[in-house]
Amino acid sequence: MSQALTRDACAALDAADPLRGLRQLFTIPEGVNYLDGNSLGVMPAAAPERAAQVVRHEWGEGLIRSWNSAGWITLPQRVGDKIGRLVGARPGELVVADSTSVNLFKALSAAISIAQADRPGRRLILSERSNFPTDLYIAQSLARQHGMELELATAAEISARLDERVAVLMLTQVNYRTGAVHDMAAVTAHAHRVGALALWDLAHSAGAIPVDLNGANADFAVGCGYKYLNGGPGAPAFVWANPRHASRFWQPLSGWMGHASPFTFDTDYRPAEGVSRYLCGTPSVIGLSVLECGVDTLLAAEPLGGMAALRQKSLALTDLFLAQVEARCAGLGLRSVTPADRRVRGSQVSLACASASGYAVMQALIERGVIGDFRAGDGTEAEPDLLRFGFTPLYTRFVDVHDAVTALHDILTTQQWREARFNQKAAVT
């Protein structure tokens, strides 16, 4: 059994942490131990003033002139290039627009069109059974439209199911329930060997782990702006297309902002070159401006080692959490479903809770100021109810880990969870 570190030892780790100053870039409420950045990132300290500047000055005074004078018109590309630095995309390859679901619809539609043109007869979209449901819903919709079939497999079965029948492999790089990480480069290479395209959802990896889309030779990717990118609730999402694919096909939502010359107001659609054709309607200026503040918090880590340094701290935080739970909560019915192998672990830990109501335990934690989230399963060993904890190295401290496990231990040993108020937490993933 692991030996638990004292709180003083955890405080010493914080004092020695070269990234500790980044916490000052955020507004964290007093008394809150926030371990839910994998659902919604903490507000950047710069966000309120930036939003006020857009509303009061750029909109309030500049009015329509701000599309040019304040650079609103190029926000999707400008913020996209910043996100690109975090995920291995080159300038001009990634744009910010719409929601993750809408961008997935665009990218998967394009991937299906390319697959059907290059390898007619393939009628299979392959994905992981525990992929986030909205991804599967979008794939089901497109499969129906294109006369295809969506086939689901476990993570362990993906390799065997990836064969010459598959047109598109659609995976989320970090599983939202377990935090398990797919090897993007290896899986993409396998897909390409059998003639399939690989589309990746980066919702739980962009800003959490190093990603190299070009290095992995991926085909398409989408991602979320409000989790590890700290862009605020409902922040715009992003879409990336490998340059070899970007201009091959129209994406299906051919709106005016994706036109080659939107302000000529042609009646006929001509798609813009490259990934800009994946834009659709007028960009959300306030949302994009606040998202840029969130992305800038990650870019502030570049002089300190960037995503590699954030990854090392993330692993240290999750290592500590797993060790503390093992040492201090043994015999209390907790079981980690997150990989112990740090090479395939994202920036979260998920615990199955057999001896208590997982929902009630999380409510009791929230009442004590420790905010994680609960994910219901189907009640089986393969898919249990989960307590899910996200570790965002920009602002999560080692003492936060210690204090969270202390609260978890107390709630389970005293059965405080039985008294927890059942206030439904309507968190999005």
> Is 100 marked within a binding site?
yes
* CA 204/CA 130 separation, integer angstroms: 14
The residue annotated as part of the active site, out of 105, 226, 391, 398, is: 226
Whether 319 sits among the annotated catalytic residues: the reply is no
Catalytic residue among 26, 34, 105, 132: 132
Q: Catalytic annotation on 227? A: yes
Is 132 assigned a ligand-binding role in the annotation? yes
End-to-end CA distance of the chain: 33
Catalytic residue among 82, 106, 177, 227: 227
**Annotation says 244 is catalytic:** no
201 is in an annotated binding site: yes
Cβ–Cβ < 8 Å for 52, 286: no
**Does 101 carry a binding-site annotation?**
yes
321 in a known ligand binding site = no
Amino acid letter at 287?
G
For residue 388, indicate whether it is catalytic. yes
Q: Tell whether 378 is in a known binding site.
A: no
341 is in an annotated binding site: no
**Contact yes or no for 160/146 (Cβ under 8 A):** no
380 is in an annotated binding site: no
**Does 256 count as an annotated binding residue?**
yes
The catalytically annotated residue of 328, 345, 388, 397 is 388
From the candidates 81, 201, 373, 400, which is the catalytic residue?
Answer: 201
User: Rounded to an integer, what distance in angstroms lies between the CA atom of residue 84 and that of residue 102?
Assistant: 19
- Residues with active-site annotation: 132, 201, 226-227, 388
Annotated binding site for pyridoxal 5'-phosphate: 100-101, 132-135, 172, 201, 204, 226, 256, 282
Binding site members: 100-101, 132-135, 172, 201, 204, 226, 256, 282
